[in-house]
Every structure is written in structure tokens, then in C-alpha cells.
Amino acid sequence: MYSLCVRDHFMIAHSFRGETFGAAQRMHGATYVVDVELRRPALDADGLVADIGRAAQVLREVLAELNYRNLDEHAAFAGQNTTTEFLARAVFDRLAGRIRAGELGASAQRLASMRVTLHESHVAWAAYDAPL
């Protein structure tokens, strides 16, 4: 399986509900480093998994929708604890929709799977990985 990874970051504010989260029940900020790994069993006619420039641009656009936002006020996340795991899936779903819409080009329609990893720090991260 071939893979291509692009990286970016975004900064948010949020709070969590539930005693499990202790002090994180109060408003706090997070900066996530995001890795997106695109995979396919065979390269396209140009010898690529996907166009790296397009992949980086689409990731930047998806993250811009969340960057410098208070996720507690984001309508799409109403009633959700926006944990690192939850956000990994949210970014995955947004990227998958753009891939299906052709924003990475026609050959990207043959991508087999994608993994989105959100690094909360140098010692903690979460990911969502699924077929496309």
C-alpha cells in the first residue's frame, strides 16, 4: 500500500462536560498538529498517491473552518464533547466529502483509505482511520 501524508495545524478553544474531564470542564485552548495519510494500493498514471499540493490546500481549507474558533459555539458540534478523538473523525469526514467531490482530482477517487491524526502534544494524539 502506498501512502502520502500532509501536515498542518489549527487552534481552538472549547470546554468539556462531565466529571471525567476534571479541569478541562473549564474553557481552555488547544493547538493540534494534523497529519492526513492518504493510501492506495497502486499509484496513478502520474506515479502519485494524490497531488500533494491539492491535498495540502484542501486540508488547509478544512482546518480554516475550525481555526481560532470556540467549538462550544460551533453549530455542527452542539451537545458534543469535542475531544481529540471526536475532532479527528470530524476532520476525516470533511476531507472525505471533499475527496468525493473531486477536489483532489479524478485519480484521488481511487484512494483506498485515509487516516487523520490529531497531535494534542508531543506525548498524546488520537486518530480516525477508515476506507474511503
As a whole number, mean pLDDT of residues 39-53 equals 97
Mean pLDDT of the chain: 97
Are 16 and 81 a contacting pair, CB within 8 Å? Answer: yes
Phi, psi of 73, rounded to the nearest 5 degrees: -105, 0
Going from N- to C-terminal start, the domains of the chain cover 2-131
Average pLDDT of the residues in 16-38: 97
Task: Assess contact for 87 and 74: CB atoms under 8 A.
Answer: no
Question: Which CATH architecture fits 2-131?
Answer: 2-Layer Sandwich (3.30)
pLDDT at 131: 98
86-132 pLDDT per residue, tens: 999 999 999 999 999 999 999 999 999 999 999 999 999 999 999 99
Tell me the mean pLDDT in the region 23-35.
97
pLDDT of residue 3: 98
* Three state DSSP letters for the chain: CEEEEEEEEEEEEECCCCHHHHHHHCCEEEEEEEEEEEEECCCCCCCCCCCHHHHHHHHHHHHHCCCCEEHHHCHHHCCCCCCHHHHHHHHHHHHHHHHHCCCCCHHHHHCCEEEEEEECCCCCEEEEEEEC
Q: pLDDT at position 9, please?
A: 98
Backbone angles phi, psi at 101, to 5 degrees: -80, -5
